Amino acid sequence: MKKKLVSVLLAAVMAMAAVGCGNNASAGAEGEAPAGDAADASSGLTIKDGVLMVAMEIGYPPMEYFDEDGSTPIGFDVEVAGAIAEELGLEVELVDTAWDGIFAGVDTDKYDCVISCVSLTDDRKEQFNMTKPYVSNHTVLIVPEDSEIDSLEALNGHSTAVQAETTADDYMKEHGAELGVELFQYDKVLNCFDDLKAGRTDSVFTDSVVAAYYLGEESSSYKTVWENEELEPISICLKKGNDALTEKIEEALDALYADGTLKQIAEKHFGTDLTAGLRD
């Protein structure tokens, strides 16, 4: 799971007119500025009136990544962000942000919230306002289909790739020596899989939500040989003390869960409902 931050490295800011999905979970549809009661209710709630500014590191499929055109953000979190904004009567603006500065950015009011596969941890709950989880997740070990590696212990003498400064990275930095594994750290999870495909690493240690994407699209090429029993649910992160917006986002998530929108978006991107049971 994505974790930690060190400095603010904001990348490109991309204004998107309502990446709304509503009940049909469609991303990228144009929306209109809120009017009447919706506009009055949202006034002062966000940094920009009428706009929910959402930070994400766009390069973590299937959560958030660019479409084939190289410029259109798509993915689970992109559609969830759009659905939340629509539920609140707001437009959505996505802020593509380097992972190592993403939390510092929300803390200094660069954007309203972070929706970017953020794991819900005790440390984060102390430092930020964190919503209840909206999708489940575990760390997993992925290897090529023909690999001799069949467990975490079988990594001894082999290598694994992780995205740096994530909970997967933390786990391997803590246990890698005893496992006897060579650790390769990358800025992007895409680079981990690129090197796995090229044979430069023997495995990838990452999130199950990412594994679902790669195993779904290339199921004949990879397999999961270990899954952490400890759940690492995904949450939305806001600045500590931003209780009004946190409450509204919680209400929006509850509504989207109740009407089946979150389930529909999850099944579209993961092939299964990873939101089930989290907000009952």
In the chain, what are the domain boundaries? 10-136+234-270, 139-227
Tell which wins on pLDDT, 271 or 176.
Answer: 176
- Give, in words, the CATH class of 10-136+234-270: alpha beta
Which pLDDT score, from 0 to 100, does residue 190 have? 85
Give residue-wise pLDDT tens across range 77-90.
Answer: 999 999 999 999 99
Which amino acid, 201? T
Show the tokens assigned to 93. 């603006």
Q: Which CATH architecture has domain 139-227?
A: 3-Layer(aba) Sandwich (3.40)
Mean pLDDT over 117-137 rounds to 94
Digit-coded pLDDT (tens) for 30-86: 334 444 444 455 568 999 999 999 999 998 889 999 999 999 999 999 999 999 999
pLDDT above 70 coverage of the chain, percent = 84
Rounded Cα distance, 271 and 108, in Å = 37
Whole-number average pLDDT of the chain: 85
**Same fold for the domain at 10-136+234-270 and the one at 139-227?**
yes
Average pLDDT over residues 79-104: 96
Q: Which of 29-33, 163-167, 169-173 has the lowest mean pLDDT?
A: 29-33
- Classified as helix, coil or strand, 53 is strand
Mean pLDDT value of segment 126-152: 95
275 has pLDDT over 50: yes
pLDDT, residue 217, reads 67
Q: Beta strands 73-74 and 91-97: pairing type?
A: unpaired
Strand ranges in the chain using DSSP code E only, listed in sequence order: 10-15, 51-56, 65-66, 73-74, 91-97, 113-119, 128-130, 139-144, 159-163, 182-186, 204-207, 222-227, 234-239
